[in-house]
Structures are given as structure tokens and as C-alpha cells.
């Protein structure tokens, strides 16, 4: 085996240009794979984090039918029992209770259907990052009567400025309609125009006064110390409490599930294309290299080198190139990801209007160690697979090739 290593090593240096080309292909393949995955992961992570951090949190509890029917009377039963439990649970970092109703948003210009969310500004701040979405004005703890904040899109559609007064109309718990004037205290931009057009946020006490006599809550959003525990906490809540259903973030937002799925699928396609290109490049180069050496290989088999040794000689050449290429590629890729992660990539440069659909414009590519190594493994595997055919060709060489004239 030592002799095979030696001959393979020397053969690599024999045609430096070709080896360099192969090496470059491997480096670029790995680099491109890692950077693509990194960009995509960064994009997805940010989108997901954004949604999770700003509103969804790690888990939520609702009345069992609330998420389908959105009826105001579908309130959480026995909220104090649940909050006491959450207060005592070690995994829970914080939580916030919300009152949510569907209603009408009426300005002097026109009327739109909106979802009205009443939040406790103090708790909301501690639990989510929604307040960071505020682009102008004040949050719902503004020192005015009945403050409301709305998405920029909605404000534009209704030609509204801060300080304007609008009317919200919605059903009370008993089925009667309630209407109240609210004062616009600020605008937010969540990253999704769809969201910004259809949601308004008010102070929870303002809406609760209108909904019923006692305070009612439709939703409790919980943030844990570790998102990985969401599943187990959800299970614990569902076991302990009747009349409500807790769900993890991915159950709550099917959109997120789809994004993740779609993202991984696209990722798979892109990396596949890169890998196949790499494999064909290598196959082609190795075949050329083999073709040039066919007489020499015929000589080796003639004088008594076993075919299996010839096979491994070729494979070893590829292995050495691949290991070198993979190492260099890994370094470059890691460097690129680290750099891009620090600096961010401004997608607006390439795709205007991307924020319209709720995607971040500046993304911070990231890659897990697992992904990084699996790409490396894929690149190495592809290279070696691409070598099997040339190696097999070498394995099959007729010893009498050595006698052929050039």
C-alpha cells in the first residue's frame, strides 16, 4: 500500500495543471456548496427567528377552537392557574397574554378588515421583539387615550398620520358589536406587507374593557430558555390543563414549516447541481488522465501489478487530491461564511422588493457544523464516486496496450 501511495502522490505532480484544475474544482464545489447552504440557512433562520421572536414565541396556548374559528368568546379558561404554573416552570423565560379579535378598521378614507391584538406592553416587551418593529411614534404604552399602532401599509392605504383618530369595531363576548375610537400612536413594519396590512395592536386593558366585564385572554405566548424544550413544555401544558391547547412554534406557523421544507428542497436542488457539475468535471479529468496513461497501465499489469492495485492507485490519486481540495475548500468556505456572517449580505442589491414578501433584506449566512461536515462528506463522496469509473477503466486495461505504438 505504501508503494501505491507513493506512485499516486507522484502522479498527482505529474500534470500539475490538471491536478490544479481538479483541486480547484473540488475547492470551488465545496465552497459553493457551503456558501449556498450558508446563505439559504441564514435567510431561513432569520425569517424564522424573526417570526418567532417578534410574535409567535416558542409556544402558545389557546382555546381549542380559537385558531380555527377566531370567535371572541373562545377565551382561555383559568388563566391565573396557567400563569402561576408558567411562573414556576424552570424552562420558561417569560410569557405574555393577549386578547385577539377580528374587527373593522375605519378611517375617514375607508374601512378594512383587521385583526386587533391587545397586548400588555410590559410583558410583550419582555417576551417578544415586536416593539423593535416600530418605525415611528410610540408603542401602545404611549401616554394617550386608547393608543393603537398599525402597519405602515395600512397607514398608507388609509392616509393616516400619527395622532389621527380611527375607529375599531368588533364583536363582544356576548355577541353585541362594540365600537371605539383609538388614537394612532405609531407605525410598525414587521417584514411582511401582508401582516402590516391586516394587523393593529392596542393596549390589552383598552380592548378588554370593551370585550367583557372581566379580563379575558385568547392567547398566551411563551418564550423558553431553550427553544428545543418547546415540545416537552407543550406536552406538559396539554397534560395539566383542560379546555386549552398548547402548540409549538412550528405547529403554530405552518408557513414556517413550509418555508423550512421549501428551503431545504431548494437547497437540495442547488447543492445537487453543484455536486453533479463537480462530479462530471472530475470524471472527465480523470478519464483524460487515464487515457494518457493507458500504455503505462498496460505495462504495469503486464509485469505483474494486480488489477486491484491498479484500481486503488487511481482511487488513491483522487483521494489525495480530494482531501487536499476539501481541506482548502473547507478553509475558504468557513472563512467566507464567517466574514459574511459578520458583515451581512445585502440582498436588496440583487433582488429589489424582497422585503415585500416578508424576507429579510440583509442576511447573515450561517451554517451548522453538521451541515458543514455533511457538505464536505458529500463532496468527498462525489469525488470518489466520480473516480470509480476511471479506476474501473484502469482495472480493465488490457496488458497488451503496452505494445501499441503511439
Positions in the binding site for other proteins (CB under 8 A): 3, 6-7, 10-11, 13-14, 295-296, 298-307, 309, 399-400, 402-403, 406
Distance CA 201, CA 78 (A): 24
For residues 259 and 53, give the distance between their C-alpha atoms in angstroms, rounded to a whole number.
16
Q: Cα–Cα–Cα angle for 189, 103, 82, nearest 5°?
A: 80
In whole angstroms, how close is the CB of 10 to other proteins at the nearest point? 4
User: Residue 226 or residue 296: which is nearer to other proteins going by CB?
Assistant: 296
CB of 311 to other proteins, least distance (A): 13
The least distance separating other proteins from the CB of residue 283, rounded to whole angstroms, comes to 23
CB of 227 to other proteins, least distance (A): 56
Min. distance of Cβ 399 from other proteins in angstroms?
Answer: 5
Residue 399, phi-psi category: left (phi > 0), alpha (psi -120 to 50), beta (remainder): alpha
**Shortest Å, Cβ 313 to other proteins:** 10
Q: Least separation, in Å, of the C-beta of 22 and other proteins?
A: 17
Give the nearer residue to other proteins in terms of CB position, either 3 or 273: 3
CB-nearer residue toward other proteins: 233 or 315: 315
d(C-alpha 76, C-alpha 252), whole Å: 17
Nearer to other proteins, 3 or 177 (CB): 3
Locus of grid cell 475548500: 329
Question: In the complex with other proteins, which residue's Cβ is closer, 344 or 399?
Answer: 399
At residue 229, φ and ψ (nearest 5 deg) are -85, 0
Find the shortest distance in angstroms from Cβ 305 to other proteins. Answer: 6
Query: Distance (Å, rounded) from C-alpha 116 to C-alpha 182?
Result: 12
CB of 7 to other proteins, least distance (A): 7
Backbone dihedral angles phi then psi of residue 97, each to the nearest 5 degrees: -105, 140
Which C-beta is closer to other proteins: that of 202 or that of 301?
Answer: 301
- The answer to whether 401 and 77 have CB atoms below 8 angstroms apart is no
Rounded to whole angstroms, the Cα distance separating 256 from 48 reads 6
Nearer to other proteins, 296 or 346 (CB): 296
The whole-angstrom distance between residue 63's C-alpha and the CA centroid of its chain comes to: 29
Q: Which burial class, exposed, middle or buried, applies to 112 when counting CB atoms under 10 A from its CB (0-12, 13-18, 19+)?
A: middle
Whichever of 13 and 350 has its CB closer to other proteins, that residue is: 13
Of 4 and 378, which CB lies nearer to other proteins in the complex structure?
Answer: 4
Which residues lie closer than 8 Å to 229 by C-beta, 6 or more apart? 91
Buried b (16+ CB within 10 A) or exposed e, 283-317: bebbeebbeebbbebbbbbeeebebebbbbbbbbb
Phi/psi for 92 (5° steps) reads -85, 125
Q: Given the complex with other proteins, which of 9 and 280 has the nearer CB atom?
A: 9
Return the number of other C-beta atoms located less than 10 Å from residue 121's C-beta.
Answer: 19
Q: What DSSP assignment string belongs to 10-25?
A: HHHHHTHHHHHHHHHH
Say how far apart CA 44 and CA 265 lie, in whole Å.
12
Nearest-angstrom CA–CA distance, 159 and 177: 26
- Min dist CB 17 to other proteins, Å, is 16
d(CA 118, CA 96): 11
Amino acid at each position: 500500500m505504501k508503494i501505491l501511495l507513493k506512485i499516486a502522490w507522484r502522479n498527482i505532480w505529474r500534470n500539475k495543471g490538471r491536478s490544479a484544475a481538479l483541486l480547484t474544482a473540488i475547492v470551488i464545489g465545496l465552497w459553493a456548496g457551503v456558501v449556498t447552504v450558508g446563505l439559504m440557512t441564514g435567510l431561513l433562520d432569520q425569517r424564522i427567528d424573526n417570526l418567532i421572536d417578534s410574535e409567535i414565541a416558542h409556544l402558545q396556548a389557546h382555546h381549542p377552537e380559537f385558531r380555527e374559528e377566531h370567535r371572541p368568546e373562545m377565551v382561555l379558561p383559568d388563566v391565573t392557574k396557567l400563569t402561576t404554573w408558567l411562573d414556576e416552570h424552570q424552562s420558561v423565560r417569560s410569557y405574555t397574554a393577549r386578547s385577539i379579535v377580528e374587527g373593522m378598521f375605519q378611517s375617514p378614507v375607508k374601512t378594512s378588515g383587521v385583526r386587533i391584538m391587545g397586548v400588555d406592553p410590559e410583558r410583550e416587551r419582555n417576551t417578544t421583539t415586536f416593539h423593535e418593529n416600530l418605525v415611528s411614534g410610540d408603542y401602545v404604552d404611549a401616554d394617550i387615550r386608547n393608543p393603537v399602532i398599525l402597519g405602515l401599509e395600512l397607514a398608507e392605504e388609509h392616509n393616516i398620520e400619527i395622532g389621527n383618530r380611527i375607529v375599531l369595531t368588533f364583536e363582544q363576548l356576548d355577541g353585541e358589536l362594540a365600537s371605539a375610537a383609538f388614537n394612532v400612536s405609531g407605525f410598525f413594519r414587521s417584514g411582511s406587507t401582508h401582516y402590516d396590512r391586516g394587523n393593529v395592536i392596542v393596549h390589552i386593558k383598552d380592548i378588554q374593557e370593551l370585550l367583557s366585564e372581566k379580563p379575558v385572554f385568547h392567547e398566551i405566548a411563551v418564550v423558553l430558555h431553550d427553544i428545543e424544550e418547546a415540545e416537552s413544555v407543550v406536552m406538559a401544558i396539554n397534560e395539566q390543563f383542560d379546555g386549552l391547547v398548547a402548540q409549538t412554534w412550528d405547529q403554530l406557523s405552518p408557513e414556517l414549516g413550509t418555508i423550512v421544507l421549501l428551503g431545504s428542497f431548494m437547497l437540495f436542488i442547488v447543492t445537487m447541481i453543484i455536486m453533479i457539475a463537480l462530479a462530471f468535471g472530475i470524471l472527465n479529468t480523470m478519464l483524460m488522465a487515464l487515457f494518457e496513461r493507458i500504455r503505462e497501465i498496460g505495462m504495469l499489469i503486464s509485469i505483474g501489478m494486480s488489477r486491484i492495485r491498479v484500481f486503488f492507485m487511481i482511487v488513491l490519486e483522487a483521494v489525495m487530491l480530494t482531501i487536499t481540495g476539501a481541506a482548502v475548500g473547507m478553509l475558504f468556505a468557513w472563512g467566507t461564511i464567517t466574514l459574511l456572517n459578520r458583515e451581512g449580505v445585502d440582498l436588496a442589491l440583487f433582488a429589489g422588493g424582497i422585503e415585500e414578501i416578508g424576507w429579510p433584506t440583509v442576511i447573515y449566512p450561517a451554517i451548522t457544523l453538521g451541515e458543514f461536515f455533511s457538505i464536505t462528506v458529500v463532496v468527498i463522496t462525489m469525488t470518489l464516486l466520480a473516480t470509480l469509473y476511471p479506476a474501473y477503466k484502469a482495472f480493465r486495461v488490457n496488458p497488451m496496450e503496452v505494445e501499441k505504438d503511439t
